[in-house]
Amino acid sequence: MTAASAPAPPTDTRVLRVLIAASMLSKVADWQLGIVIPLAVLAESDSVALALVSFALRGVSYVGSPFLGSVIDRFDKRTVYVLAQLHQAVCLVLLASMLSSQLSVALLVLLSGIGGVASSITGQFVLIPVLISPPLRATAVAKLNSAIEVSKVIGLLLGGTAFALLGPAAASLCIGALYLVAGCIARLLPRAPSSHRRMDIRRDLAIGFRWVGRREILWLVVTMSMTNLAIGQLEPALITQFSDGGMNTAAISGVMAAGLLMGALASRLAPAIVPRWSTERRVLAAQVLGLAGLALVATPLLPLRLLGFMVECFAVAVSNVASITYRQETIPADVAGRANATIRMFITGASPLSGFLFAWASGLDGFRYWLPALSLWGAAVVVWAVYTRTCERAAEKADALKGASLGDR
């Protein structure tokens, strides 16, 4: 084949469309899983705490994410992403036939989390910097995150409806089918092979942890880990609270979807929100707004709780887009899998711990149930505020020294 007749490489637009389509189906499945599993376990056990812990096990897989990051960096990124979807599909098909066994459900949810971790790291943190040209990456991140937020809404609505109409087994099979289709669509992505094939786990782990220890990353990791520990399992916590209070499944899905729609809008608009502010200040503003939203969620009035959830989703979405773009610009593409996998071991790995925290707090009444989460979020705001002020002072000092240097000439 001559150069003139060779097929043109896929455009950024086409690549992004395929990635968004596959990611949306995968995330719809994730969020159906997030409502089907807690409700299924609650129906079997009549225990809110057990329902929260069962679903929280999916996030425990982030403990092994540095090893998955090594695999992602050493092999073709598209292949890893496709296999992650297929792995989750198999787990859900098996889970559908074992719902009566709490141990089997817990084990399969845990195993499905391995595919979920690989999918999340590859789709959101590796494929974009590898396949999308630098000028369009910030917009690509915003579009992908907005699509993911919309997928959360669709997933919750479909999950609640499927559970009510079909039951937990059929709903689980539907989730498995979505993962399968997502994997098929992802095969349309261009190959993204690595130039490094030799596995060296010790070296790979050292690279990942070295990036976590960098000053510009460490403060972000600490702050985001604390916020995820506070509200990483907020949606399952609200779902089980509403269900335990007698609210029907369709109404729960609608309430949660209304809040998540705000997150989708915020993700799409995030690059245009105070664009002249530094990343640090934008994240701080989002953290303060999120604390206010969580305080509203803690109130006993449903309208205020819904408003608080919408505010929370808005704040988290803005913060996520800013922090993801920042990491993609800071971390080189050839180590993005290892670095982001280790970073997310701490950040996203805190999410399942949030489920255990809410499970422990389920014995507390009213506002006291939310007090641990509010305390952790407030501490995270203080930590990031200190870092933001430190960065601003350093910038002011650098500007002053630059001005003095120019004045001496």
> pLDDT tens digits for 13-62?
888 999 999 999 999 999 888 878 888 888 777 776 777 777 777 877 77
Identity of residue 88? Q
User: For 264-271, what is the mean pLDDT?
Assistant: 81
| pLDDT tier, 5 (very low <50, low <70, confident <90, very high otherwise) | very low
Alpha-carbon distances of 384 from 194, 205, 396, rounded to whole Å: 35, 26, 18
User: For 84-91, what is the mean pLDDT?
Assistant: 95
| pLDDT tier, 183 (very low <50, low <70, confident <90, very high otherwise) | very high
Cβ neighbours of residue 304 under 8 Å, at least 6 residues apart? 296
Please report which helix (H) or strand (E) contains residue 148, including its range. Answer: helix 137-166
Looking at the chain, the whole-number percentage of residues with pLDDT higher than 70 is 91
Give the integer Cα–Cα distance in Å for 367 and 344. 30
pLDDT recorded at residue 407: 56
The residue that leads in pLDDT, 178 or 74, is: 178
Identity of residue 107? L
Q: Is 397 exposed, middle or buried (0-12, 13-18, 19+ CB in 10 A)?
A: exposed
Extract the tokens encoding 204: 């790979």
User: For 230-249, what is the mean pLDDT?
Assistant: 76
pLDDT recorded at residue 87: 95
User: For 179-199, what is the mean pLDDT?
Assistant: 82
Give the integer Cα–Cα distance in Å for 115 and 47. 27
The length of the chain in residues reads 409
pLDDT recorded at residue 244: 67
State the number of CA atoms in the 13 A half-sphere of 140 facing the CB.
28
Q: 296-335 pLDDT, tens per residue?
A: 988 888 778 878 888 988 998 888 888 887 777 778 777 7
pLDDT recorded at residue 234: 85
Asked if pLDDT for residue 409 goes beyond 80, the answer is no
Least confident of 94-103, 252-261, 305-314, 377-386: 252-261
Alpha-carbon distances of 264 from 18, 229, 252, 261, 308, rounded to whole Å: 19, 22, 19, 5, 16
Extract the tokens encoding 114: 């391995």
Q: What angle do CA 332, 338, 341 make, to 5 degrees?
A: 115
The residue that leads in pLDDT, 30 or 10, is: 30
C-beta separation of 160 from 31 below 8 A: no
Asked if pLDDT for residue 259 goes beyond 60, the answer is yes
Give the integer Cα–Cα distance in Å for 336 and 230. 27
- Helix 77-96 vs helix 12-45: crossing angle, to nearest 10: 20
- Helix 336-347 vs helix 102-121: crossing angle, to nearest 10: 140
The residue that leads in pLDDT, 355 or 199, is: 355
pLDDT recorded at residue 2: 43
Q: What mean pLDDT value characterizes the chain?
A: 82
Give the integer Cα–Cα distance in Å for 408 and 151. 57
User: For 360-381, what is the mean pLDDT?
Assistant: 87
User: For 269-275, what is the mean pLDDT?
Assistant: 80
Q: 107-156 pLDDT, tens per residue?
A: 888 899 889 888 988 887 788 888 888 778 778 888 888 888 788 778 87
Alpha-carbon distances of 319 from 64, 101, 124, 311, rounded to whole Å: 25, 39, 15, 12
Asked if pLDDT for residue 408 goes beyond 70, the answer is no
Q: Is 21 exposed, middle or buried (0-12, 13-18, 19+ CB in 10 A)?
A: middle
**Count of C-beta atoms within a 10 Å radius of residue 13:** 11
Kindly provide the b/e burial profile for residues 285-301, where b requires at least 16 CB atoms within 10 angstroms of the residue's own CB. bbbbbbbebbbbbbeee
| Sequence-separated contacts (24+) of 193-198 with Cβ below 8 Å | 193/75, 193/76, 193/77, 194/73, 194/74, 194/75, 194/76, 194/77, 194/334, 195/334, 196/73, 196/74, 196/334, 197/74, 198/74
Q: What angle do CA 402, 404, 409 make, to 5 degrees?
A: 100
C-beta separation of 313 from 234 below 8 A: no
pLDDT recorded at residue 326: 75
pLDDT recorded at residue 196: 56
| pLDDT tier, 344 (very low <50, low <70, confident <90, very high otherwise) | confident
| pLDDT tier, 1 (very low <50, low <70, confident <90, very high otherwise) | very low
